[in-house]
Amino acid sequence: MLSPEEVRLLSGGYVRPADQLRALHERGYHRAHRSRRTGRVVVERAHYDAVAAGHTHAPVLGGRPRPRLRPVPP
């Protein structure tokens, strides 16, 4: 997991978790989420590494992968 300071820097310096999460999602960190226990934004280091390396889908660590949405035909 990234440290709270790393999350703040990665999100562009935002302090509020909602702003951090929005900024991270805009930057492609779609697996970033808020912790139910602490309310802080959580980013797995493997996901950070994958997105930073240019991969669109990070490896899934424990749990099921999210279903991919298919485009709706015109």
* 8 in a structural domain: yes
Q: How far apart are CA 18 and CA 49, in angstroms?
A: 22
Query: How many structural domains compose the chain?
Result: 1
* 65 in a structural domain: no
DSSP string, 19-52: HHHHHHHHTT-TT-EE-TTT--EE--HHHHHHHH
Q: Determine contact, residues 5/17, Cβ cutoff 8 Å.
A: no
pLDDT along the chain (74 residues), means of 10: 95 95 93 94 93 69 56 66
Query: Considering the entire predicted model, what is its pTM?
Result: 0.71
* 47 in a structural domain: yes
* 22 in a structural domain: yes
